[in-house]
Structure formats: C-alpha cells, structure tokens
Chains A and B, each alone.
Chain A
C-alpha cells in the first residue's frame, strides 16, 4: 500500500489577517497518508493544529489572507474544486471532521438521532429523510450508541455518549478520511479509553484513515501510524509513529517525548521551558531556536524539512 495513496498535502499555507499583522498559522505543511492509516498531528497549544484541519477541510474564517498549496485526495487536487463541488463531492462524503470541543456544540433542541442524520440530508447523501434516519441509526449502532438514545436530547447524554454521537455523525456517510481534532481531551480516562477503542475498531474494520490532532502524546499512540510534529505553524518532524515514540530526532520532538508522564516511572516528566514564538512575526530562522539547547549560528537560517533517514523527515540543521 502506498504511504500517500489517499491524501497528499503539499506546501499548504493558511495565514490570517488581524489588526496586528499576519498570523502564519499554517506555513508550508506537506505530508502524505495512505488508506487505513492514521496520521497524528502533535504540538503545543496554538501551534496551528486546528488551523491545519480547517485548511484541509476548507472550513475557513472570514479573515483569511493566504490560502495556498495543493491537497490531493485520491489523486484529485481538491484545492482546485469550486466551493459548490467541494461541498457536494468532498466534504462529509469523502472527508469528515470532528471539530475541537464538539461535544458542547450539539443542538440542545434537536433530538440526537436527527442531528446525526442532518449532514446526510444537507449534503444530499441520502435521498429521503427516512433513508437518512436509517443510516444515522446504523452509524449510531456502529459507535455503540444504544438505539433509544436517538430520540434523546444532547443534555440527557454523558460527555462520552455525546462524543460518540458526534463521531457517528462524521462516519454516517462512510468517508475515507476523518479529521479528529482533540476528540478525547475533554473526557475522563475511562471514557477516553472507550473512545480510542472505538476508533481503533473502526480503523481496522473499515480501513478508514484518520488524522488525529492532539497534544496528548500518550493517547496518540493508541491510533498513530505516522506522526507529524508541529511547531509554530510548521511540521518539524515527519516519521513513522514508533520512530517518534522510541527515538525522536528533532530537539523539539525530544522535549515533547520527555514531557510525557508515566504512571510507573520514577523519573519526573520534564517540561519545555519558555513559550512558542508568536505566529505574528515568527523568527526568521528555525522557529525553535529560542528554546533549543543545541542551537548554533547556522540556526539563524531556516532549515529545510528533508529526509535524513529511511523515510524520516526532520527540519533541523543537526541532521543535514
């Protein structure tokens, strides 16, 4: 199976206009993803993870300044499609989204079953209302939401059940790729384990591909095949997930792994001193310089993201 058989993102940029200047939230991101595989995007708050998701799904706010790059889905550059075709042929049907903090965004006055069915109708993926409802019921079954929950309202459901409903909504049209933005970070550990089990099952059963966005590295290992480490709007390392967990190369990736707490370990987890740079006027050279212990003069120039070992790409002068 080709590693970038399903999705190929090239040099994606998404910059926002603000009254203080340009926010370079996504700045030249490239990666590929094969069918049935999961890419995790990890990085600190504000590094542009959600913006990347929105750029891929073309769910853009009003103040976009730059939106460039290429996104191939099954070989078709979906950036070139017109808005209407994108909506009709791509979003929800092939490419679905579970937004950050979605469990609080369910409509309180519409029954859960109808909400799961709604995107099918809006995107004309079901011909009749009864067909949509039937497929919603199927999706709910798939995510372990009992049938009688369909006629309930969101506030009557626990956080875990609400998240299941939202995942059902994303899966209802059987998309090839689902982008999950922090799907479990608001949930407690048992519910989180349940949801990860569910996603893992769907991945195995239907060969669905996922892009999982999270800042929780331990949880990311539940689903990850490939890891993209994001820092200040850019991907600084791209590799097989197990390589990232076992032997991270970029100094930022190394810090991230050292910060993962473990129940059993006697060693105290570390934190990364300092803060990521502002995306308003990011430093000219490597964006991690300010916090990096291995920096030298050459880091004043921006390093490219290049292949350093079999299939591993790192954006750091130490490996060039």
Chain B
C-alpha cells in the first residue's frame, strides 16, 4: 500500500481530482481568423490523495505545463471537471478563484525566470501574504522567517536580504519552494522543479519537497520528463503522450511492469550509468512527438509504435483499459 497511508494507518482523503479535463488553445491568424485549436490537454482524468505524490511524465510539448496551469486556474478548461478539497472548481468567480489559487503552491518551470530579479528574498516571500491580505506585519515577518527555516536557508539572516542573483541555482530553487508554501497550501504543483539544476543538487531539492510533504501532509503533483529519480519520491505515475494519459499506475507497477509501448520506450531511454554504453546504441522510437493541432488519427502513438495493430490503432482512439487494479493503460493491446 502507499507509504504515507501505511504510516498513518488510514487511507488519506481524496484531495484533488480531474475528470475528462480538456484545455484547448484557439489558434487564430491575424487575430480573428480561426485556424484550429491546439488541444494541449485532451481528456485527462486522475485523482490524488492527501500526502501523496503523482508524477506526470512525458516528452516536451505533450501538455504537462498546460495541465498544471489548468489545475491552478491559470488556464480555463474547455471541458471536464475539477475538484479540490471536496469543492467543485468549475464556474468559480474571480475572487473565489484567487482564494482557490492561494491554497495551491506553484513551483513553476524555469527557476531562473521565476524570481523577480529586483526583489530581495524577504520581499519575494512577503508578496503572496500581502496580496492575499493575511495577518499583520509582525505575523508576516514571522511567517517569512519560518518558511526560510523550513527550506533550510539558514541562518536566515544570511539569505533574507539577498537578491536572487546572489544565490546559487539550488538556493534560488529553495526560495521558489519557500514562496510556494508561504500560504500554507494543501497541494503543491511542481513543474519541472529540478530540470534546470545541477544533477548533484537535484536529490537535495526532491528530498526537501518530500520532507515538506510529510510534515504537512501535502498532495504533490510533480511534473518532469525524467523518470530516474521517481522511484524514491512518488507514489503514482501518469505517463502523458500527445495531451492524453497513456498509462497510469503506482510507481512500482510502472517501473517494474510498464505496459504501454510508449512507457516502455521512455523507460529504456532513461540514462543509465554503465561503461558498456559506449559501444551500444539505444533503441528510440522513430519520428517525433505528434502535433497537437492535427494529432494523428486513432492512437496518437501509432505512427511510432512497434506493436501497432493495423486497421485498429490507426483508426480508433484506444480507451483506458484497466489492466490490473489501479493500473490503467490506453492501448489496444490490452483491450478486454
């Protein structure tokens, strides 16, 4: 069973769920002439319990960041249902939406662009408190020091008055994380929190996020294109391909028994430290990821798939089949 639930002896409550979520961008020429729509998220469903992490993995451009932004209310879904903490999010007004957003911490892609260069760490961390009008000045000051200590930027004095450029990449990312938790969120959406960082600091940052998660029983939606660290830092994985989920299961089930041909390709491409690599070539599926403006017919992976069933895969979009309890896969090979 899931690590956190076992520790607490109870199944955690569902914190967040998405059902058949779709986010489309209208593409217009000269501002009005409709050319088509980029279906960046196209029918995605999942749920997440408190204290757990779901990792969303997939190639560049498959729609991961758009999914994150839709969850945060920064993109409006064209269709589908979002539930957070027992409340339906669709159709909220602007004020309700802002209050919703403050309950979700956001670690955005690109840490170097994430911090405003002309603000000190103190200002950066006070900003969300100020915008959401929480507490008095003293209260704010205390909270800022508290989160700095939580992300281990100590002694606090050494960091609080610095500007982002005076900090290393890893320290900057700690500030981004501090900012994401300053409003005491229940959910954190971390969009590629480590991909711009040095390999040797990545583990440190992932452990920090994991520690905060355990301390506050947070749900985490972790977006990445690299699966090499996922075993240690996540309960579930959803593999995204061409704006849809190809496969979704517990971490161990996916790593030990990947079912979807795309998941298999992705796993075998993960770099392995092995001196024998010098002489062997990696098997990579041919072709490029699909266009989301004109996705391929049928299964979106069919033009690159080694297992394609002609006349089926290229015609009809596969449903999500439940191969095993809690392990679903959108591939015709597993049709019932």
Contact = CB atoms under 8 A, between A and B. Distances in A.
Contact of A190 (B59, B272, B281): B59
A263 B201 contact: no
B227 A188 contact: no
Nearest to B275: A242
B228 A263 contact: yes
Contact of B284 (A45, A190, A223): A190
A197 B282 contact: yes
A262 B273 contact: yes
Interface string A8-47: 0000000000000000000000000000000000001110
The contact size tier of chain B is: 35 or more
A132 to B, nearest CB: 28
A246 interface: yes
A87 B177 CA distance: 46
A257 B274 CA distance: 11
A263 B274 CA distance: 13
Interface in A164-198: 187-194, 196-197
Contacts of A189: 225-227, 266, 269-271
Given A191-B60, A193-B269, A218-B273, A261 B168 contact: no
A69 B200 CA distance: 30
Contacts, number: 124
Given A216-B271, A263-B231, A271 B281 contact: no
A303 to B, nearest CB: 22
Contacts of A246: 275
B272 A271 contact: no
State the main secondary structure of chain A at its contact with B: loop
Given A187-B60, A262-B273, A263-B270, A256 B200 contact: yes
A46 B60 contact: no
Interface in B243-290: 255, 265-267, 269-275, 277-278, 281-282, 284-285, 288-289
Nearest to B285: A190
A223 B278 contact: yes
B131 interface: no
A219 interface: yes
B156 interface: no
Interface in A266-290: 266, 268-272, 275
B285 A262 contact: no
Interface of B: 59-61, 168-170, 197-204, 207, 225-229, 231-232, 255, 265-267, 269-275, 277-278, 281-282, 284-285, 288-289
24 contacts: A45-B169, A158-B288, A161-B288, A188-B226, A189-B269, A190-B266, A190-B269, A190-B284, A193-B284, A201-B281, A215-B198, A221-B273, A221-B275, A245-B274, A245-B275, A256-B200, A257-B273, A259-B200, A261-B202, A264-B255, A269-B203, A270-B203, A271-B202, A271-B203
Given A188-B60, A200-B278, A219-B271, 19 more contacts: A158-B60, A159-B60, A189-B225, A189-B227, A189-B266, A189-B270, A190-B269, A194-B284, A196-B282, A221-B272, A221-B275, A222-B271, A223-B278, A255-B200, A257-B273, A263-B272, A264-B255, A270-B203, A275-B168
Interface of A: 44-46, 158-161, 187-194, 196-197, 200-201, 215-219, 221-225, 241-242, 245-246, 255-257, 259-266, 268-272, 275
